Amino acid sequence: GGGPWDSVACVLPNGSL
């Protein structure tokens, strides 16, 4: 998503852990 934890859920603001 654009955050440091962007793993799979790139649709979220900061991705997902």
- What pLDDT was estimated at residue 14? 64
pLDDT tens for the chain, residues 1 to 17: 666 766 676 666 666 65
What pLDDT sits at residue 12? 66
CA–CA gap between residue 17 and residue 3 (Å, rounded):
10
Alpha carbons 15 and 12: distance in angstroms, whole number = 5
The pLDDT value recorded for residue 2 is 64
* Cross-strand pairs, 6: 16
- Tell me if 12 sits within 8 A of 2, measured CB to CB: no
Inter-residue contact 7 to 14 (CB < 8 Å): no
